[in-house]
């Protein structure tokens, strides 16, 4: 998808865990940025009309035989270059210097001091700075034309060849621990590269809508809607481009949250004016899920069933519209980056974040208008599109829905029990004003029964666990220290209002070692 603005910064990924952060920092300057795998060809890079290139860090050593390698021609494109950590080593190694294992590895906080003549990368920054290091190699000899711009107590921390417009730093300017990192990246993107800070939500929408319109022409597109932020924003964006040539399909798989099937329909048809087909396939899904307890089995059944239902609908819609050519997906940047690893774009996307392999089976061409964006940027786009806050602020919900929060067998009765408990959790968290600050908060129905006493009666009923986590991207998470009074209200309401649950426990496991979902 062509979402270009007047200029961009391209980041070549050598496998660093921080590559996403680099892109993010550049976007915070309102400069369009895209991450490509380091194996990208010069043509692929140039297609993005970059004003500058950033070479990311990475876990390998440049002198290893299987070290990730970019085409050395990228060093001679005439574009300003910024190497970060491994990026520095790559530049040194390929321009005639030497890199070797460091005498003293540097991990974590360090102080660097600028040395030598002024260089634009450090303009306006103090001479001594706290930075974040994470490396075990060092540049020993610099390539011709380079000089040292900064030093740590152990090694060089920055180099430059202003003539060739190449800068590199040993530390990580993208992480928050590097005190002046954002300023350094600003110097690179705006001052050195001269990129125009015109990447705004409004600009993005105009460009994307125009480009979708051109691509799709008179064709027809389908969008599988989950009711979540990503697919809703993607659908609204595409609908703005092609109107009724887009049909959204929303499937009730029997494991949605309480009233969700109706609420989502109201939101999408009413508030967003989307052309929506809602399919109640709940019986069909629940019948397939009967007597299945294995988590992966549940996921597979739901994935497979979804494809069948979607396929049937697609065939019907194709008959009415004379054919369907496109599939809209709300893929985000973090999903893409997982695939755009150093091994090239075809490697892996976390399987559970795929929409069940729809494109391969249906031979549809993909429209992924959000694939360059982070979640909060998607929310900003949604806001600019005038979408209501209660859609944009929704917490993530897994594709297999409540099925992976019902441990053991998924029966209609157990779904109903969990739906009630989940509604109470969400309601109380919202009333406490915490919903927007928490990544996910939900209830889990355990296959554990315990003894209790209610109104002088002995009870023997199910246990429910409450889970609430803070997370940036779902990859790691911390359990939330919810106020005791809030936990007390949630527990009290659940045992009083939900028949079938007589005990509530709170999950105090972070990720790792736990996962966010229980299955």
Q: What share of the chain is helix, strand, coil (3-state, %, to 5)?
A: 40, 25, 35
Binding mask 155-174 for ligand XMP (x = CB under 6 A): --------------------
Q: Does 440 bind ligand XMP (CB under 6 A)?
A: yes
CA distance 73 to 78: 10
Least Å distance, CB 440 to ligand XMP, is 6
The residue (of 173 and 356) whose beta carbon lies closer to ligand XMP is: 356
Using CB under 6 A, which of 30, 352, 380, 489 touches ligand XMP? Answer: 352
Which residue stretch of 42-50, 209-217, 392-400, 451-459 sits at the interface with ligand XMP (rule: CB under 6 A)?
392-400
Picking from 19, 43, 34, 46, the residue whose alpha carbon sits closest to that of residue 204 is 34
DSSP 245-309: GEEEEEEE-S-SPTTHHHHHHIIIIIIT---EEEEE-HHHHHHHHTT---HHHHHHHHHHHHHHH
Using CB under 6 A, which of 333, 399, 418, 480 touches ligand XMP? Answer: 399
Using CB under 6 A, which of 136, 200, 259, 515 touches ligand XMP? Answer: 515
Using CB under 6 A, which of 197, 396, 452, 500 touches ligand XMP? Answer: 396
Is 164 catalytic? The answer is no
CB 4 within 8 A of CB 44: no
Is 85 catalytic? The answer is yes
Using CB under 6 A, which of 89, 257, 299, 493 touches ligand XMP? Answer: 299
Q: Which of these is catalytic: 85, 193, 223, 248? A: 85
Q: Does 227 bind ligand XMP (CB under 6 A)?
A: no
Picking from 497, 391, 418, the residue whose alpha carbon sits closest to that of residue 256 is 418
Is 193 catalytic? The answer is no
Query: Which phi and psi (to 5°) does residue 368 adopt?
Result: -125, 80
Query: Helix/strand/coil (H, E, C) string of 81-129?
Result: EEEECHHHHHHHHHCCCEEEEEEEEEEEEEEEEECCCCCHHHCCCCCEE
The residue (of 149 and 440) whose beta carbon lies closer to ligand XMP is: 440
CB 86 within 8 A of CB 172: no
Q: How many residues bind ligand XMP (CB under 6 A)?
A: 14
Which residue stretch of 99-107, 214-222, 307-315, 397-405 sits at the interface with ligand XMP (rule: CB under 6 A)?
397-405
Q: Which of these is catalytic: 106, 138, 164, 174? A: 174
CA distance 8 to 254: 44
Least Å distance, CB 253 to ligand XMP, is 12
Q: Does 12 bind ligand XMP (CB under 6 A)?
A: no
Q: Which of these is catalytic: 38, 172, 223, 248? A: 172
Using CB under 6 A, which of 88, 474, 494, 504 touches ligand XMP? Answer: 474
Is residue 88 packed enough to be buried (19+ CB in 10 Å), middle (13-18) or exposed (0-12)? buried
Which residue stretch of 104-112, 170-178, 319-327, 510-518 sits at the interface with ligand XMP (rule: CB under 6 A)?
510-518
Instruction: Tokens 């190497």: give the residue.
Output: 83
Catalog residues that contact ligand XMP under the rule CB under 6 A. 299, 352-353, 396, 398-400, 404, 440, 474, 511, 515-517
Residues carrying an active site annotation? 85, 172, 174
């Amino acid at each position: 998808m062509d979402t270009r603005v007047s200029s961009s910064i391209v980041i070549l990924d050598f496998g660093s865990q921080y590559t996403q952060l680099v892109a993010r920092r550049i976007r915070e300057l309102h400069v369009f940025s895209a991450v490509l795998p380091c194996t990208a060809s010069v043509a692929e890079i140039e297609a993005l009309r970059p004003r500058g290139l950033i070479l990311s860090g990475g876990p390998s050593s440049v002198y290893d035989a299987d070290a990730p390698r970019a085409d050395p021609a990228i060093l001679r494109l005439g574009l300003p270059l910024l190497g970060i950590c491994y990026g520095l080593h790559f530049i040194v190694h390929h321009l005639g210097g030497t890199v070797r294992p460091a005498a003293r590895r540097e991990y974590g906080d360090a102080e660097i001091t600028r040395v030598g003549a002024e260089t634009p990368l450090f303009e306006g920054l103090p001479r001594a700075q706290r930075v974040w290091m994470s490396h075990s190699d060092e540049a020993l000899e610099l390539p011709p034309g380079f000089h040292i711009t900064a030093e740590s107590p152990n090694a060089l921390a920055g180099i430059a060849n202003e003539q060739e417009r190449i800068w590199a730093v040993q530390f990580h300017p993208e992480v928050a621990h590097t005190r002046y990192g954002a300023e350094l990246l600003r110097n690179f993107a705006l001052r050195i590269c001269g990129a125009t800070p015109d990447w705004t939500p409004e600009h993005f929408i105009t460009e994307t809508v125009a480009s979708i319109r051109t691509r799709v022409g008179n064709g027809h597109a389908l969008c599988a809607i989950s009711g979540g932020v990503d697919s809703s924003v993607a659908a609204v964006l595409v609908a703005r481009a092609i109107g009724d040539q887009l049909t959204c399909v929303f499937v009730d798989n029997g494991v949605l949250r309480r009233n969700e099937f109706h609420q989502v329909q109201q939101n999408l048809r009413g508030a967003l004016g989307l052309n929506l087909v809602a399919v109640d396939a709940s019986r069909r899904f629940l019948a397939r899920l009967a007597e299945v307890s294995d988590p992966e089995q549940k996921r597979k059944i739901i994935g497979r069933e979804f494809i069948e239902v979607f396929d049937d609908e697609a065939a019907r819609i194709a008959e009415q519209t004379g054919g369907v050519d496109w599939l809209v997906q709300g893929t985000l940047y973090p999903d893409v980056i997982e695939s755009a690893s150093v091994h090239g774009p075809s490697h892996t996307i976390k399987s559970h974040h795929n929409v069940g392999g729809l494109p391969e089976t249906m031979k549809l061409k993909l429209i992924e208008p959000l694939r360059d964006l982070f979640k909060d940027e998607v929310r900003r786009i949604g806001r600019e599109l005038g979408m209501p806050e209660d859609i944009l602020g929704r917490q993530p919900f897994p594709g297999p829905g409540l099925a992976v929060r019902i441990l053991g067998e998924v029966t209609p009765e157990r779904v109903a029990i969990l739906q009630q408990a989940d509604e109470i959790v969400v309601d109380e968290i919202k009333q406490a004003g915490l919903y927007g600050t928490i990544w996910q908060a939900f209830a889990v129905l355990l296959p554990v029964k315990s003894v209790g006493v209610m109104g002088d009666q002995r009870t023997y009923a199910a246990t429910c666990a409450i889970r609430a986590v803070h997370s940036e991207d779902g990859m790691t998470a911390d359990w939330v220290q919810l106020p005791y009074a809030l936990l007390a209200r949630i527990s009290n309401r659940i045992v009083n209002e939900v028949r079938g649950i007589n005990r509530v426990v709170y999950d105090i496991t972070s990720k790792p070692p736990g996962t966010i979902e229980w299955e």
